Amino acid sequence: MSAVSSRLPAFPWDKLEPYKATATAHPGGIVDLSVGTPVDPVPAIVQQALIAAADSPGYPTVWGTTALRDALVGWCERRLGAVSFAHPNVLPVVGSKELVAWLPTQLGLGAGDKVAYPRLAYPTYEVGARLCGAAPVVYDDPTELDPAGLKLLWLNSPSNPTGRVLSKDELTRIVTWAREHRVLVFSDECYLELGWETEPVSVLHPDVCGGTYEGIVSVHSLSKRSNLAGYRAAFIAGDAAVLGELLGIRKHGGMMTPAPVQAATVAALGDDVHVREQRARYAARRAALREALLGHGFRIEHSEASLYLWATRDEPCWDTVAHLAELGILVAPGDFYGAAGERFVRVAFTATDERVEMAVKRLG
């Protein structure tokens, strides 16, 4: 085993391959609800912006064009409620997964440092800690953590996989605690636009942060809201001192968002119509799958936001995966996201209307 592989967890999705084969063999084919990858078209306004910027022979800048930084600042003020925002408060990144995986390394963390993240969480938080040699720590309530050695605290609201949303009061309490203990907070808010039963709030909202961004940064992605997973369009926003340090490091590393993608991001953030249209598609798919799962004997917990239903039949998650695979439906086992998910599955509603309709029929 190599030195790199020995410090990383096994890549979980490989374990799904036999169940994917079973689902694929079902008459009518597979309904893949295991991965939250967009399937709907990239909005025309975004495609047009990308095409118009296709003739970009020179190197782009790491910090982005003036137009991009204006768009990022404007969106944070309009959508998140951020106040007194400026260019030093925003920084484009090459997709949010890259940022999550390499952030602890870029912050200079290592042996003796701790990186904390929710007990049920996207696996890349742990990967990022292990890549730099820091200790990964899970929590149920971050304010109950021992702050000694804790350098980075990940929040994720709305949550992947559970869809749980942290309230404004919860966020305020966590930010206050982190500042008292000088713990840097990064809040992964990539599903912020996809609240169904509640309205998610950013840590950058003045009611949460008090109008100052010291020690807090939020992470945002256009993959879900604008179907831009293939573009790797994302950004971070918040503490100018932290972003300035990351900018310097990322310049050395050549971590540049391609110029056409920068132009596409400007177009996407300036248009709310396509976001409403995509939300409506997801809302319809969510409602259909939720009703079908409940009718099939599932219980759904949280799931008030994001692109997933966190569902259980009160049995080991792999038994549920196997059962659904026999119906031609592939879902993600809950233990991919931590041992606490061992009796749940994550059901994505990022499938076409036709495939969702097929899943509903099979569950019925």
Give pLDDT tens digits for 347-356. Answer: 999 999 999 9
Q: What is the mean pLDDT of residues 111-134?
A: 96
Gap between the Cα atoms of 211 and 174, Å rounded: 15
Q: For residue 197, what is the domain's CATH number?
A: 3.40.640.10
Residue pair 103/253 in contact by the 8 Å Cβ criterion = no
Q: For residue 343, what is the domain's CATH number?
A: 3.90.1150.10
Same domain, 188 and 219: yes
Last residue of one domain, picked from the residues 232, 252, 269: 269
Same domain, 98 and 192: yes
Same domain, 30 and 84: no
Q: At what angle do helices 96-106 and 240-253 cross, to 10 degrees?
A: 100
Same domain, 73 and 137: yes
Q: What is the mean pLDDT of residues 118-136?
A: 96
Banded pLDDT at 1 (limits 50, 70, 90): very low
| Contacts for 291 with CB less than 8 Å, ≥ 6 apart | 360
46: in domain? no
Same domain, 165 and 218: yes
| Contacts for 37 with CB less than 8 Å, ≥ 6 apart | 229, 350
| Contacts for 277 with CB less than 8 Å, ≥ 6 apart | none
Same domain, 87 and 17: no
37: in domain? yes
250: in domain? yes
200: in domain? yes
Amino acid identity at 23: A
Residue 147's CB: how many other CB atoms inside 10 A? 17
- pLDDT exceeds cutoff 90 at 295: yes
Q: Which domain holds residue 8?
A: 3-41+274-363
Give pLDDT tens digits for 66-106. Answer: 999 999 999 999 999 999 999 999 999 999 999 999 999 99
Total domain count, the chain: 2
